[in-house]
Structure 1
């Protein structure tokens, strides 16, 4: 019994210290809680567009654009660029048009229902966890070569005399939720050609899709648009 009285007296004597420690502990708990809330808020406000290849790893593989954001994303412009050691050749591939700027022949074969579903354009909204199949990388290269008068070889790649083809880059410009400011995402796929078999492989340069949603990226987004005008 004496021990309990001594313990109680000791607690009362150090009540100020215990009160301070309790306050510090509560402050830490609230700090962690607020940090979690802030992290969740930032995740909800952070666009996340994923660009990848599917159904193979060669030129006939499909380009997939996925929206892994917490809100919808409106895809406004899709750009494909061939990157060499000296230049970049870019083309707007948002809509299915030919080199003259008119509807491609494939469009005229689409039914009214297919037109209404948006198959003729890569522009439009993507809901959360929704993806869009943009077409084959081979078709992108063909469109770029047509616009820039680049001859192609038997493999479907451009024949460049004084340049070395390095990669194809896919760029997406859009809008995230109600934010009126544009956002962007891009991913580069290195083009590897086997000297013996001639086999072509598309190898992602990074294991993620770089996002361009900050204020400092707006000038780069304007440069992307200027390259296709």
Structure 2
């Protein structure tokens, strides 16, 4: 046996080296996977405090690093038309005589584990209503979708989360229930989607209102990693 080991020592050394390399590659893969999970950004969009239009819309940063909330978009369909607009500015706080110095914004930094109160769903609809002429804006909407966009990694990367809500109307035609459609917000953070987010922000800043829904191009096909 010792003679066989001596005669095949070179081959055995190569096999041991290959085995050691495979073990280290496996360890490296496990380490990188764990690191990516720990540093992966995660935004949550939730309904808090009530179930009707008085419910608050909360955007939470569940990632391990700070993020800067850049914009919150709302998309909806009314009278057969689809629209997308920004609702991050608290226009309802604007002064009665148009004093814009009293206008607040939900835009700003979020530490890990912190959240931003975007306002009530009634506030969100009011902000969107200012872009349109519909006399009964709320009754025209059956569902809406919110898209929170944030910057991470020293503002180099854009990430987003998307969640839909539907409005349940009572017998008198008023909204009595705001119900989430998905269990949790869908995360949008792939490299390809980041480019779409950047183009989307540029269009919203330029045009203010888009006559289409933007979530299909951001979410992609069901089950896909975004």
TM-score, length-normalised on structure 2? 0.70
- Structure 1 contact 96–121 (Cα < 8 Å) conserved: yes
- Structure 1 contact 97–104 (Cα < 8 Å) conserved: no
Structure showing greater radius of gyration is 1
The whole-number CA distance in structure 2 between the counterparts of 1:85 and 1:11 is 83
Question: Which residue number corresponds to residue 187 of structure 1?
Answer: 163
1:177 aligned to 153, 157, 160, which one? 153
Count of aligned residue pairs for this structure pair: 201
| Cα offset, 1:181, TM superposition | 4.9
| Cα offset, 1:29, TM superposition | 1.5
Helix, strand or coil at the partner of 1:148: coil
The whole-number CA distance in structure 1 between the counterparts of 2:129 and 2:30 is 49
CA-atom RMSD in angstroms: 3.4
Gaps of 5+ in 1: 1-5, 109-114
Alignment of 1:5-154 (within 5 A): 6=1, 8-43=2-37, 46-84=40-78, 86-98=80-92, 103-104=94-95, 120-152=104-136
* Residues 74-97 of structure 1, C-alpha deviations (whole Å, 9 max, x = no match): 112223333347323444332322
- Structure 2 contact 40–63 (Cα < 8 Å) conserved: yes
* Residues 178-212 of structure 1, C-alpha deviations (whole Å, 9 max, x = no match): 13454433322233446799742322346332315
The whole-number CA distance in structure 2 between the counterparts of 1:56 and 1:95 is 22
The whole-number CA distance in structure 1 between the counterparts of 2:115 and 2:95 is 24
| Cα offset, 1:10, TM superposition | 4.7
